[in-house]
Structure 1
């Protein structure tokens, strides 16, 4: 049986960044990453919009805001250091009616509170800056960028290996045996002993946490984000990311146009309740995952609290024309047949027992483990400062391993 001082479960960007940070600060510790897939960043990390967020939306002083502000700097610095392609193309948030204009002005103030430098654009100024975008008013945030997070994670994993870390793929965790000062982690074919374990498994976080006999006051509810890609003729339609004004009561940012780092343009995502935690196709269904949601009181309270939003997202999922209506608010020239298939993603959203969406980061820590129970968007942008926070929290335990 192999033994390690620290084991990180999950090779998404947060898990890999955390393992890398441990090896930098505690080079003598033996560190293992366990991943059930055959390569890193196969789920949330590799299936998002690729946006490097600037911190527009988040409550000033919250972990979300602080991590995002630092994460923007750290992500760009990492890309420059390793010659990873990125672009700071900026973001336009576009208001198309009076309610959205009011919310837009609130966002403008929040941008200033989060130390950004937003530019408020009138209708004519918006048309001049982005001729293919319609709106009554907009704000422009120059700091927002784009990158391929799967590429970034792969580069970071290689750095971790060069620092002396280890990674094991094809290791689905099926059981945890807790000992007095360590844990045994079991898959179907192997057993690993670890002095400390960090759970960075995204949509599976609550399920892994229960293997450590933790009593949880939340559950992960999966939301599917469905995207489309536009034909190549639209690759020059926008110079910036184009976002609607979001509903502040929800953690989702609405269907937007995103320049990808390869030059293409995608549309999306919506945010429909998913019938499988890792179900990326339209009608994927997993009975275990559905039972986990249906038996959780918070799930039904969530549905009741956001009935109109849930119904609206379901309609956009079932009908491409309903989806297109959201895009036409600010980009009416796109045709129905021009919404081409593209990969979807699953967002791991922690929901409390009372049905409230947990908006900020949530950690649970024991003597031998730490669980990243909620790492909401912008977790990819914020992965490096999240990793630093995790290592700060477990520094005493790591010192005993040293």
Structure 2
């Protein structure tokens, strides 16, 4: 069955796809979102740390920097309008090396971020009394929210403007016909003038279905979390982060008091044996072979072999994970933590084995493909949608 013609077909009912759909629909266009799951935000959008990112880590003038800072402003406005609970009380980023802290402070100045300041000793302990490291950077722009609720609110917002979302519709082929696109799912066909691919973990596969040859491959990295017992809920007031490795787009294990008041530790970054490999036992041989046979992945693995082994060891050894937590706050034992659902990060890797650090978009024939939108894409979602909308409506 061929369904009625739409101005825009968007693949992916995650937070980026729905943010984009809402803004295009508001311009007076007819938009349909196709989602393979039964609800919106089942993957990266609903399985993350829930952090409203400040944008401090990202290179000035990069997509990540511009869109996360702009996106945070738009997101907070949306949260207030929709009465979605959130906290914007800041975080401390700690390190034993004061030079690293000063470098991050300078980055905040380059980004014109206000209120960022170095805290030492009693000043830092006023913010986070249990921090093991007594020096760090306070970043007031950071906060927490439940992004699954944000994604659900965006789906409702789209419908309120006349847009449509169809669930259980996994796209299996893409054809270019009569100046538009025909998307075939396992059940139906949908026709539209323009395609936007926000397929997350499958965005590279979908781009190939559209006849493109992406310069990157999406490699899945599982991010695992633990929740601390309620008896430890006073250990962290808001967030304690280590300073991340500048060569990697992962922020490392950090401690976050989520919107429900629970302290979460994570995520790590472990190669997943399936695109949706949320556990060690989730194995898809075809997808694993696709990842491991990719030349860029082989080069990446060679470069970061020791880092990868360390991440895998910490994933399989609860005590090692606890030891990492205790570098930030004291007194946490294996009995104090329980497993929280994991997420999988859709990380683009190029042919030279480099982890693509910025958001990445590629245009096709009557199509636009979002080929890299990992963290902080949830924070930046409305700005990403704004950016895409400006490109496709110009």
Are positions 1:108 and 2:105 aligned together? yes
Q: Which of these residues, 296, 314, 317, is aligned with residue 315 of structure 2?
A: 317
Are positions 1:49 and 2:46 aligned together? no
Q: Which of these residues, 21, 24, 43, is aligned with residue 22 of structure 1?
A: 24
Residue 31 (structure 1) aligns with: 31
The answer to whether the Cα contact below 8 Å between 1:89 and 1:239 also exists between their aligned partners in 2 is no
Q: Which of these residues, 10, 13, 16, is aligned with residue 11 of structure 1?
A: 13
The answer to whether the Cα contact below 8 Å between 1:126 and 1:135 also exists between their aligned partners in 2 is no
Are positions 1:130 and 2:128 aligned together? yes
Measured in 2, the distance between the counterparts of 1:170 and 1:80 equals 31
| Secondary structure in structure 1 of the residue aligned to 2:302 | helix
The answer to whether the Cα contact below 8 Å between 1:242 and 1:257 also exists between their aligned partners in 2 is yes
Residue 58 (structure 1) aligns with: 58
**TM superposition outliers: structure 1 runs of 4+ over 6 Å:** none
The answer to whether the Cα contact below 8 Å between 1:123 and 1:138 also exists between their aligned partners in 2 is no
Measured in 2, the distance between the counterparts of 1:86 and 1:124 equals 27
Q: Structure 1 residue 305: deviation in Å?
A: 1.4
Range with bigger deviation, 126-135 or 145-154: 126-135
Q: Structure 1 residue 79: deviation in Å?
A: 0.5
Are positions 1:301 and 2:299 aligned together? yes
Residue 399 (structure 1) aligns with: none
Q: What value does the CA root-mean-square deviation take over the aligned residues?
A: 1.1
Aligned length: 391
Q: Structure 1 residue 279: deviation in Å?
A: 1.4
Q: Structure 1 residue 236: deviation in Å?
A: 2.5
Summarize the alignment of residues 2-401 of structure 1 with structure 2, pairs less than 5 Å apart: 2=3, 3-25=5-27, 27=28, 29-95=29-95, 97-98=96-97, 101-116=98-113, 117-396=115-394
| Secondary structure in structure 2 of the residue aligned to 1:355 | coil
The answer to whether the Cα contact below 8 Å between 1:127 and 1:134 also exists between their aligned partners in 2 is no
Q: Structure 1 residue 237: deviation in Å?
A: 2.1
Measured in 1, the distance between the counterparts of 2:336 and 2:273 equals 27
Q: Structure 1 residue 102: deviation in Å?
A: 2.5
Q: Deviations over 1:302-356 (max 9, x none)?
A: 0111122112111111111111121111212111111201100000000000001
Q: Structure 1 residue 184: deviation in Å?
A: 1.0
The answer to whether the Cα contact below 8 Å between 2:273 and 2:280 also exists between their aligned partners in 1 is no
Measured in 2, the distance between the counterparts of 1:88 and 1:221 equals 32
Q: Structure 1 residue 127: deviation in Å?
A: 2.5
Measured in 1, the distance between the counterparts of 2:181 and 2:289 equals 29
| Secondary structure in structure 2 of the residue aligned to 1:59 | coil
User: If each structure's strand is expressed as a fraction of its own residues, which one has the higher value?
Assistant: 2
| Secondary structure in structure 2 of the residue aligned to 1:372 | strand
Measured in 2, the distance between the counterparts of 1:148 and 1:262 equals 9
Q: Deviations over 1:166-197 (max 9, x none)?
A: 11000011111221401111111111111111
Range with bigger deviation, 309-318 or 43-52: 309-318
| Secondary structure in structure 2 of the residue aligned to 1:174 | strand
Q: Structure 1 residue 112: deviation in Å?
A: 1.6
